Amino acid sequence: MNSLALVSIGGVAGTLTRFAVGEIFPNDRTGTLVANVFGVGLAAVLLVWMERRGITQLRLLLLPGFCAGLTTFSAVTAQSLEPREGGIEFLLQNIFFSLFIVILILPFARKVIPGRK
pLDDT confidence tier of residue 7, bands split at 50, 70 and 90: very high
pLDDT digits (tens, 9 = 90+) for 64-88: 999 999 998 888 888 888 877 788 8
- Of 61 and 116, the one with more pLDDT: 61
Q: Which residues contact 2 (CB under 8 A, 6 or more apart)?
A: none
Burial 78-106 (b: 16+ CB within 10 A, else e): ebbeeeeeebeebeebbeebbeebbeebe
Residue 96's pLDDT is 96
Q: Which long-range contacts (CB under 8 A, 24 or more apart) does 109-113 make?
A: 109/44, 109/45, 109/48, 109/49, 110/48, 113/45, 113/48, 113/49, 113/52
- Could you give the CA distance from residue 110 to residue 21 in angstroms, rounded to a whole number? 28
**Segments making up each domain of the chain, as ranges:** 3-112
Count of helices and strands (H, E) across the chain: 6, 0
